[in-house]
Structures are given as structure tokens and as C-alpha cells.
């Protein structure tokens, strides 16, 4: 394929059901791209989380190879001391490094994790991990000065709290509109061959407003001012995409992709409470409802396993020689992990319903592992139930996320649209879905920088 400019528009958390079906006919710019190219689902990685999923897409490597299993990594030799996975955690050259090797310039906006911003052949604006725009958030640093001169204020993320949903929605819409304004400015004014923009606002809006458009959701509400919040936000995205396509010009190859999908959350399962009840985790006394593990009186010498919550659970075993007060002998490790995984798979729902829970070891899913590897990765009821790490609740089943409101969880399948101005990508890509890791090779081909 001839060398081409490539524009990648990343829609964090975009749902195939909403984008392709529910809102079909309302998104003219996305539909134009679909009509002229390939469209379908993108299968996320394990785990299907923003970090590492975007980097799996932009490096072509598994999370294991990247050593990224979520937003935090355990500091070796501790139980719960963690470091946030940031751009310095990335040890594998991403697509833009390869493009630079071929003499191509890149413009990158909000690709997680990209804080702190690092040197690229082109421009970078860091992602939502940016603690504030009073810190350096661009490469080159002077780009921040230029944006200020243009009166383009970059908002990395929006505070996500329970109170005042109308305010959350308004600030999300404003943030996203601002992101597209910055993207259009850079696409027109700066030289680039590869342009990548990831919009995190969609993830936020779905987590906050999913219930209003999903009658199957246990907290479904209708007749509220938010009935059309998601639909209108998708339309806002489509409008921004239309403007960005125009700014990029007609000779640009375009990919619209998401890192994972979304679906309604059924609840949160208290993994540490369950481990305590089953005798894997020992406590010295009672804990108040909602106590975090790091604040709980854990009796480590009598504890075999503990877990971290989030959209999936990471479970660690307390291994002799590895943990400060390890109790499981290394030769017993395999058997203990398998026994625990078996027990986890048998967990049923609050009404005794059978769950489709995946409990896998990194060795089963990765060809290679780096960094702080969890011993077990658990996806409760095929991701429908998130994991809560807190303890002391009256029930192990929480109707809502214990750390705040959360209508949606992640789903394995996100969206993909691949368009080329001269090649019929619909014919060229002969598959129903694309594994997220394979997008890297497709991008390389679209840029014309394959070997």
C-alpha cells in the first residue's frame, strides 16, 4: 500500500451496539466512513482496560509483554504499595517511534498513558493522567504556550462524582468539544503523517449515564433530563469527527477504534470479603463497612491470598520468599492457585444464579510476562460484575460501585472502522472482528512503513 497520512480517532469505551445499531442514522460522518471502508468489532485484550489496551493497539504487544495489567503496579516486596502506570512504564516502542524511524511526524493527543509527555518526532499532548495543566503537559513544552496563545484550553479529564449529573454532563460535553477544537487546530496548522487522538469523555459519559438508555439495567430510569444524554453525546462526537476529517483533508486514511466496549453493570462483588470468609485472608478483628485493604488489620502470616478491585480483580498469593510475610511454599504455588481459581469459578450471584466467571493465570493468556504480574485475573460474570476491594459490607454483593456511581462496566468487544481514500478496506480486511493487537499491523500498513 502506498504511503499515506493516517488519522486514528480513538473513542474510549465505544459500544458497537450504540454506535453501529442504536444510533444508526444519527451519526452521518461515522456512517460515511463505514460505507467506504471496513467496520466491525475490535476484540480487546486481557484485561480490557484503558491501560493497557491502547498501548496493546499501538505497540502490537500483549499486556504481559508490556508489563501493564491495569492502572497500577505493585512495588516489589510490598503488599499494597503501588505506582500508577504512566508513560515511563512503557518500555516498548510505540507506533509513533516506528513512524519516526521512517522519517514521519506524529501528532498525539491524549493517548493513555502519555503523562509525563515524552519526546516524539512531532507533537504530544498528555492524557487524562495529567495532574494539572500547570505542569508540563506537552511535547515540545512550547506547544502549551502556543495553545494558550490560540486560547485553546486543554482539559485532561472531568471530575466524576455522584452529585449533580447535569453539571457532569455539561463539563464532559465542553471538554470533548475543546479536545476536537485543539485536534482540528493541530491537524490544520502542524505538519503530521500520523495523527492520533483518544477521547476519554465517552468512557466517562457512559459510566455516568448508561442506565438511562438501557431498560435491562437494574437502575434503569426514564423520563429524566438524561434520557438522551448518551445519544446526544455520540452526536457531539460525530460532529467533532466530521470537523477533524475536514481538517485532516480528503487524502487521509482514517481509523475509528475503541480500546474496549461497554455494557450495563450488574453490581460489585467484594472479593476481599469473600477471600476472608473462605479463610484465605485473615483479619485481626472487625472492619468498618467500606474499609480498604490497606487500612484493614490484615494478619499477613495467616493470609494466603488477597485481591485488588476495579473492573476486574487481581488476586495475589502470599508466597514465601516473594512477599514480606509469605506463607505459601513456592512448590505449593501452582496447586494453590488452581484450587483458588476453581473456587472462584464456583461463585454464584446474589440470587444463587450461575455466573460466567473467568479466573485465569497470566501464563494461560500471555506468551511472556514482565513487571508486577498478578497471580490470578478474575472477570466476574463475564465482566458484568466489577470487583470491589473494600471490606466490611453487610453483603458481598453491592448494587453500586462502592467508590462512586458507575452504571457501566467494560465489555470485551469495542468498535472499529477502517477507511482508506483509494482502497476498499471492506474487501481488503476479510474478517468480522479484529483483535486489538492486530490493529498495529494494519496501522503500519496504512502508513506504508512496513518492511
Judged by the rule CB under 8 A, the positions of this chain that interact with another protein are: 49-50, 70-72, 82-84, 86-88, 105, 115-116, 129, 131, 135-136, 138, 140-146, 150-151, 157, 159-161, 177, 180-181, 184-185, 191, 204, 207, 236, 239-240, 243, 247, 292-293, 308-311, 386, 388-390, 401-404, 406
Other Cβ atoms less than 10 A from the Cβ of 440: the count is: 18
Q: Residue 219 Cβ, how far from another protein at the closest point, in Å?
A: 15
Q: Residue 173 Cβ, how far from another protein at the closest point, in Å?
A: 10
Q: Residue 240 Cβ, how far from another protein at the closest point, in Å?
A: 6
Q: Residue 178 Cβ, how far from another protein at the closest point, in Å?
A: 9
Specify which residues 311 forms β-bridges with: none
Indicate the residue among 397 and 433 with the shorter CB distance to another protein. Answer: 397
Indicate the residue among 30 and 144 with the shorter CB distance to another protein. Answer: 144
Indicate the residue among 185 and 300 with the shorter CB distance to another protein. Answer: 185
Indicate the residue among 70 and 416 with the shorter CB distance to another protein. Answer: 70
Indicate the residue among 131 and 435 with the shorter CB distance to another protein. Answer: 131
The gap between the terminal CA atoms of the chain, to the nearest Å, is: 12
Indicate the residue among 64 and 309 with the shorter CB distance to another protein. Answer: 309
Q: Residue 380 Cβ, how far from another protein at the closest point, in Å?
A: 14
Q: Residue 150 Cβ, how far from another protein at the closest point, in Å?
A: 7
Indicate the residue among 177 and 327 with the shorter CB distance to another protein. Answer: 177
Indicate the residue among 97 and 177 with the shorter CB distance to another protein. Answer: 177
- Is 407 exposed, middle or buried, given 0-12, 13-18 or 19+ CB atoms closer than 10 A? buried
Indicate the residue among 42 and 127 with the shorter CB distance to another protein. Answer: 127
Indicate the residue among 204 and 263 with the shorter CB distance to another protein. Answer: 204
Q: Residue 308 Cβ, how far from another protein at the closest point, in Å?
A: 6
CA distance linking residue 263 with residue 5, whole number of Å: 34
Given a contact cutoff of 8 angstroms between Cβ atoms, the answer to whether 61 and 92 are in contact is yes
Q: Residue 143 Cβ, how far from another protein at the closest point, in Å?
A: 8
Q: Residue 112 Cβ, how far from another protein at the closest point, in Å?
A: 11
Indicate the residue among 98 and 207 with the shorter CB distance to another protein. Answer: 207
Q: Residue 324 Cβ, how far from another protein at the closest point, in Å?
A: 20
Q: Residue by residue, what is the 3-state secondary structure of the chain?
A: CCCCEEEEEEECCCCHHHHHHHCCCCCHHHHHHHHCCEEEEEECCCCCCHHHHHHHHHHCCCHHHHCCCCCEEECCCCCCCEEECCHHHCCCCCHHHHHHHCCCCEEEECCCCCCCCCCCCEEEECCCCCCCCCCCCEECCHHHHHHHHCCCCCCCCCCCCCCCHHHHHHHHHHHHHHHHHHHHHHHHHCCCCEEEEEECHHHHHHHHHHHHHCCCCCCCCCCCCCCCHHHHHHHHHHHHHHHHHHHHCCCEEEEEECCCEEEECCEEEEHHHHHHHCCCCCECCCCCCCECHHHCCECHHHCCEEEECECCEEEEECECCCCCCCCECHHHHHHHHHHHHHHHHCCECCCCCECCCEEECHHHHCCCCCCCCCCEEEEHHHHCEEEECCECCCCCEECCCCCCCCCEEEECEEEEEEECCCCCHHHHCCCCEEEHHHHHHHHHHHHCCCC
Q: Residue 406 Cβ, how far from another protein at the closest point, in Å?
A: 5
Specify which residues 307 forms β-bridges with: 315
Q: Residue 264 Cβ, how far from another protein at the closest point, in Å?
A: 14
Indicate the residue among 69 and 355 with the shorter CB distance to another protein. Answer: 69
CA distance linking residue 240 with residue 396, whole number of Å: 42
Q: Residue 340: which of 271, 290, 289 has the closest Cα?
A: 271
Amino acid at each position: 500500500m502506498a504511503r499515506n497520512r493516517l488519522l486514528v480517532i480513538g473513542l474510549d469505551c465505544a459500544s458497537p451496539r450504540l454506535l453501529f445499531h442504536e444510533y444508526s442514522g444519527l451519526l452521518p460522518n461515522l456512517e460515511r466512513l463505514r460505507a467506504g471502508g471496513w467496520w466491525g468489532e475490535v476484540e480487546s485484550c486481557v484485561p480490557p482496560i484503558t491501560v493497557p489496551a491502547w498501548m496493546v493497539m499501538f505497540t502490537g504487544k500483549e499486556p504481559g509483554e508490556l508489563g501493564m495489567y491495569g492502572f497500577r503496579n505493585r512495588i516489589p516486596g510490598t503488599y499494597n504499595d503501588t505506582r500508577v502506570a504512566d508513560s515511563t512504564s512503557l518500555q516498548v516502542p510505540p507506533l509513533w517511534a516506528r513512524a519516526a524511524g521512517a522519517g514521519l511526524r506524529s501528532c498525539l493527543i491524549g493517548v493513555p498513558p502519555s503523562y509525563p509527555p515524552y519526546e516524539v518526532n512531532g507533537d504530544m499532548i498528555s492524557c487524562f493522567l495529567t495532574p494539572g495543566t500547570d505542569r508540563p503537559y506537552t511535547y515540545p513544552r512550547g506547544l502549551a504556550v502556543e495553545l494558550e496563545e490560540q486560547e485553546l484550553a486543554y482539559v485532561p479529564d472531568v471530575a466524576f462524582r455522584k452529585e449533580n449529573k447535569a453539571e457532569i454532563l455539561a463539563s464532559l460535553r465542553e471538554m470533548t468539544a475543546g479536545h476536537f477544537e485543539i485536534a482540528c487546530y493541530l491537524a490544520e496548522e502542524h505538519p503530521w503523517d500520523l495523527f492520533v487522538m483518544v477521547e476519554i469523555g465517552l468512557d466517562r459519559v457512559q459510566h455516568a449515564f448508561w442506565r438511562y438508555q438501557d431498560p435491562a439495567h437494574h437502575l434503569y430510569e426514564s423520563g429524566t433530563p438524561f434520557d438522551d444524554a448518551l445519544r446526544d453525546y455520540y452526536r457531539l462526537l460525530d460532529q467533532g469527527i466530521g470537523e477533524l476529517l475536514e481538517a485532516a483533508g480528503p487524502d487521509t486514511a482514517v481509523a475509528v477504534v475503541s480500546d474496549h466496549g461497554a455494557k450495563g453493570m450488574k453490581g460489585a462483588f467484594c472479593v476481599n470479603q469473600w477471600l476472608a470468609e473462605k479463610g484465605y485472608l485473615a483479619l485481626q478483628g472487625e472492619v468498618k463497612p467500606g474499609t480498604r485493604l490497606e487500612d484493614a488489620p490484615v494478619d499477613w502470616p495467616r493470609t494466603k491470598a488477597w485481591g485488588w478491585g476495579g473492573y476486574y480483580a487481581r488476586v495475589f498469593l502470599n508466597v514465601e520468599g516473594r512477599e514480606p510475610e509469605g506463607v505459601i511454599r513456592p512448590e505449593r504455588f501452582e496447586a494453590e492457585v488452581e484450587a483458588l481459581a476453581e473456587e472462584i469459578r464456583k461463585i454464584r450471584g446474589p440470587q444463587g444464579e450461575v455466573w460466567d466467571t473467568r479466573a485465569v493465570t497470566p501464563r494461560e493468556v500471555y506468551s511472556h510476562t514482565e513487571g508486577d504480574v498478578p497471580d490470578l485475573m478474575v472477570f466476574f460474570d463475564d465482566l458484568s460484575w466489577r470487583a470491589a476491594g473494600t471490606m466490611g459490607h453487610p453483603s458481598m454483593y453491592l448494587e453500586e460501585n462502592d467508590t462512586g456511581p458507575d452504571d457501566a462496566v467494560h465489555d470485551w468487544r469495542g468498535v472499529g472502522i477502517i477507511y482508506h481514500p483509494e482502497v476498499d478496506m471492506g474487501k481488503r480486511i476479510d474478517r468480522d472482528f479484529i483483535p486489538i493487537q492486530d490493529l498495529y499491523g494494519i496501522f503500519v500498513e496504512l502508513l506504508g512503513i512496513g518492511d
